């Protein structure tokens, strides 16, 4: 296959059946690589490489971010880009079809795709088959297993490729891909793949209910993303300790997330606009997203634009500095109109790992991380008044911020160690159970 190098609840082992038969090379099918907003995928790839897995990255799209994280540079896997749009590389697609159409798996894969196309008559569905043809035709024979990150588009390409070429496949499901994929498609993919992991108990329960009862117990497994404690060490938060009473010493608010509907930034801006004039605060936002201009306009109209700094997408080092300098982290997640929602946002775990007090909404899997009043503050989604009160009260109480930050940090270190959960995932790839790693010490401390 052409090489395009990039410059740049605990589950016991017996609940991890149907693992990849041999720990040979595995093709990871990603929607886009590298992406600043998907650090968790890069961290997973790096960790599995350290455990000995030979990974080949297959990307359906070319990168659009102007920067990459340090973790991307540490990954040794090569990157292979499929045709992002079929019309851009027609000869490549034609050659793949000419080769694959004679294979024994082609008729069945074509019937499978036609059934899907009948229910989803979209250009995207056609593009997925074209990408699968190219992947099947160009993938080396030494690769017998495919692993897709996200249950929607990447899983479709992996599934069609697996049927075309008689390979096995598995999947990691996360958030939007779970809640916006039609139920019929989720059921059929769950009946077809070897195993699936997902990063929250809420998603695990949802997908387990859709999986065929005849499947091996544990085929849908809970594997939190966790925090890489070697990257997010326990340096004390250096927040200001301000209480907002002094105009020259505002409380520093921070939010990290894409400017998209499910993140609820319009709710946050509306809540901040209603804070009393006597409370002095500043908000720093890190993240890209298609609603950035609209949110800036909303802040301007609300008269608080001068208090908000919009930094756009930033590499991990800059994000870490922001966590350590802030007083409060706030995330106003909600369920979007199309059903999209967060899973368990990594940014909340990252913020808590740095001892930063967090305010978030009780959406999806967030209550799996934050216990209201103990390890952070939870408010109802889209309740702007409750969000305003939570921010105002915590801004005025530095001592409580410190207590919540310390409790959140302890919880993350105890239950959300990245290495611990990677050990569980490594079992799926027949890499053993990770016994003896420093991970267990972190959880048992």
pLDDT digits 0-9 by tens, 37-74:
888 899 999 999 999 999 999 999 999 888 888 889 99
Q: Is residue 243 part of a domain?
A: no
Q: Is residue 231 part of a domain?
A: no
Q: For residue range 398-411, what is the model confidence (pLDDT) as tens digits?
A: 999 999 999 999 99
Residue 443: is its pLDDT beyond 60?
A: no
Residue 440: is its pLDDT beyond 50?
A: no
> What pLDDT shows up at residue 91?
97
Q: What is the mean pLDDT of residues 109-128?
A: 97
Collapsing DSSP to helix, strand or coil, 244 comes out as coil
Q: Is residue 138 part of a domain?
A: yes
Backbone angles phi, psi at 383, to 5 degrees: -95, 90
Segment of 2-6, 233-237, 253-257 carrying the highest mean pLDDT? 253-257
Half-sphere exposure of 346 (CA within 13 A, CB side): 25
Q: For residue range 161-182, what is the model confidence (pLDDT) as tens digits?
A: 999 999 999 999 998 899 999 9
Q: Is residue 242 part of a domain?
A: no
Q: Is residue 219 part of a domain?
A: yes
Single out the residue of 342, 353, 376 nearest to residue 442, CA to CA. Answer: 353
Q: What is the mean pLDDT of residues 404-423?
A: 92
Q: Whole-number mean pLDDT of the chain? A: 89
> What pLDDT shows up at residue 232?
78
Q: Are residues 122 and 90 part of one domain?
A: yes
Residue 214: is its pLDDT beyond 90?
A: no
Q: Are residues 409 and 358 part of one domain?
A: yes
Residue 420: is its pLDDT beyond 50?
A: yes
357 strand-pairing partners: 328
Q: What is the mean pLDDT of residues 31-40?
A: 89
* CATH code (residue 297): 3.40.50.2000
Q: Is residue 173 part of a domain?
A: yes
Q: Is the Cα dihedral 42, 265, 310, 243 positive or negative?
A: negative
Domains identified in the chain, total number: 2
Q: Are residues 269 and 185 part of one domain?
A: no
Residue 445: is its pLDDT beyond 70?
A: no
For 206, counting Cβ atoms within 10 Å of its Cβ (0-12 exposed, 13-18 middle, 19+ buried), the class is middle
Q: What is the mean pLDDT of residues 113-127?
A: 96
Residue 369: is its pLDDT beyond 80?
A: yes
Q: Is residue 362 part of a domain?
A: yes
If you ran DSSP here, which 8-state letter would residue 211 be given? S
- Name the residue range of residue 195's domain: 13-226+418-442
Q: Which stretch of 17-26, 30-39, 221-230, 398-407 has the lowest confidence by average pLDDT?
A: 17-26
> What pLDDT shows up at residue 16?
34
> What pLDDT shows up at residue 433?
56
Q: Are residues 123 and 219 part of one domain?
A: yes
Residue 157: is its pLDDT beyond 80?
A: yes
Q: Are residues 396 and 257 part of one domain?
A: yes
Q: Are residues 213 and 286 part of one domain?
A: no
Q: Are residues 69 and 215 part of one domain?
A: yes
Q: For residue range 246-299, what is the model confidence (pLDDT) as tens digits?
A: 999 999 999 999 999 999 999 999 999 999 999 999 999 999 988 999 999 999
Residue 240: is its pLDDT beyond 90?
A: no
Residue 108: band (very low, low, confident or very high) from pLDDT cuts 50, 70, 90? very high
Higher pLDDT, 359 or 37: 359
Backbone angles phi, psi at 90, to 5 degrees: -60, -35
> What pLDDT shows up at residue 236?
59
Q: Are residues 266 and 366 part of one domain?
A: yes
Where do we find the tokens 């870490």? 320
Q: Are residues 35 and 81 part of one domain?
A: yes
> What pLDDT shows up at residue 15?
33
> What pLDDT shows up at residue 57?
97
Distance, in Å, from the CA atom of 241 to the CA atom of 398, rounded to the nearest integer, reads 5
Higher pLDDT, 443 or 17: 17
Residue 237: band (very low, low, confident or very high) from pLDDT cuts 50, 70, 90? low
Task: Give yes or no for a contact between 28 and 55, defined as CB atoms under 8 angstroms apart.
Answer: yes
Residue 230: band (very low, low, confident or very high) from pLDDT cuts 50, 70, 90? confident
Q: Are residues 374 and 300 part of one domain?
A: yes
Q: Are residues 397 and 436 part of one domain?
A: no
Question: How, if at all, do strands 55-59 and 26-30 pair?
Answer: parallel
Q: How far is CA 165 from the centre of its chain?
A: 29
Distance, in Å, from the CA atom of 29 to the CA atom of 79, rounded to the nearest integer, reads 10
Residue 5: is its pLDDT beyond 80?
A: no
Q: Are residues 328 and 183 part of one domain?
A: no
Residue 235: is its pLDDT beyond 90?
A: no
The encoded tokens of residue 236 equal 């004390």
> What pLDDT shows up at residue 8?
32
Distance, in Å, from the CA atom of 363 to the CA atom of 213, rounded to the nearest integer, reads 28
Q: What is the mean pLDDT of residues 133-139?
A: 97
pTM here is 0.78
Q: How far is CA 20 from the centre of its chain?
A: 23
Q: Which stretch of 60-69, 121-130, 151-160, 196-205 has the lowest confidence by average pLDDT?
A: 60-69
How much of the chain, in percent, has pLDDT values that exceed 90?
75
Collapsing DSSP to helix, strand or coil, 178 comes out as helix
Q: Is residue 185 part of a domain?
A: yes
Single out the residue of 316, 254, 333 nearest to residue 34, CA to CA. Answer: 316
Cα-based torsion angle of the residue sequence 420, 425, 430, 433 in order, rounded to the nearest 10 degrees: 20
Distance, in Å, from the CA atom of 353 to the CA atom of 357, rounded to the nearest integer, reads 10
């Amino acid at each position: 296959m052409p090489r395009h190098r990039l410059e740049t609840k605990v589950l016991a082992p017996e609940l991890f059946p149907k693992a990849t038969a041999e720990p040979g090379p595995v093709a990871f099918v990603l929607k886009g690589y590298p992406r600043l907003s998907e650090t968790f995928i890069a961290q997973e790839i790096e960790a599995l490489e350290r455990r000995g897995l030979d990974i080949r990255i297959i990307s359906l799209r070319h990168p659009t971010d102007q920067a990459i994280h340090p973790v991307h540079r540490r990954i040794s896997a090569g990157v292979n880009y499929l045709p992002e749009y079929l019309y851009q590389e027609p000869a490549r697609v034609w050659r793949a079809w000419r080769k694959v159409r004679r294979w024994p798996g082609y008729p069945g894969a074509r019937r499978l795709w036609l059934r899907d196309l009948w229910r989803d008559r979209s250009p995207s569905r056609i593009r997925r088959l074209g990408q699968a043809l190219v992947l099947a035709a160009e993938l080396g024979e030494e690769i017998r297993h495919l692993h897709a990150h996200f249950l929607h588009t990447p899983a479709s390409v992996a599934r069609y490729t697996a049927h075309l070429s008689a390979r096995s496949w598995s999947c990691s499901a996360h958030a939007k891909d779970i809640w916006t994929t039609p139920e019929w498609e989720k059921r059929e993919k769950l009946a077809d793949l070897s195993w699936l992991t997902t990063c929250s108990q809420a998603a695990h329960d949802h997908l387990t209910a859709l999986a065929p009862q005849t499947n091996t117990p544990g085929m849908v497994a809970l594997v939190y993303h966790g925090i890489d404690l070697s990257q997010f060490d326990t340096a004390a938060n250096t927040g200001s300790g301000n209480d907002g009473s002094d105009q020259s010493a505002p409380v520093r608010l921070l939010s990290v997330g894409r400017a998209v509907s499910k993140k609820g930034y319009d709710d946050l801006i509306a809540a901040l606009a209603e804070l009393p004039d006597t409370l002095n605060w500043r908000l720093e936002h890190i993240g890209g997203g298609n609603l950035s201009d609209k949110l800036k306009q909303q802040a301007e109209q609300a008269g608080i634009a001068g208090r908000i700094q919009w930094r756009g997408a930033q590499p991990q080092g800059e994000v870490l500095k922001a966590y350590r300098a802030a007083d409060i982290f706030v995330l106003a997640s909600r369920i979007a109109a199309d059903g999209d929602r967060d899973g368990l946002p990594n940014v909340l775990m990252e913020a808590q790992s740095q001892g930063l007090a967090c305010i978030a909404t009780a959406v999806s899997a967030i209550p799996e991380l934050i216990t209201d009043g103990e390890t952070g503050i939870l408010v109802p989604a889209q309740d702007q008044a409750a969000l305003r009160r939570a921010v105002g009260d915590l801004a005025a109480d530095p001592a409580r911020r410190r207590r919540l930050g310390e409790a959140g940090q302890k919880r993350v270190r105890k239950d959300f160690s990245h290495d611990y959960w990677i050990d569980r995932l490594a079992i799926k790839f027949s890499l053993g159970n990770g016994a003896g790693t420093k991970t267990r010490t972190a959880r048992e401390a």
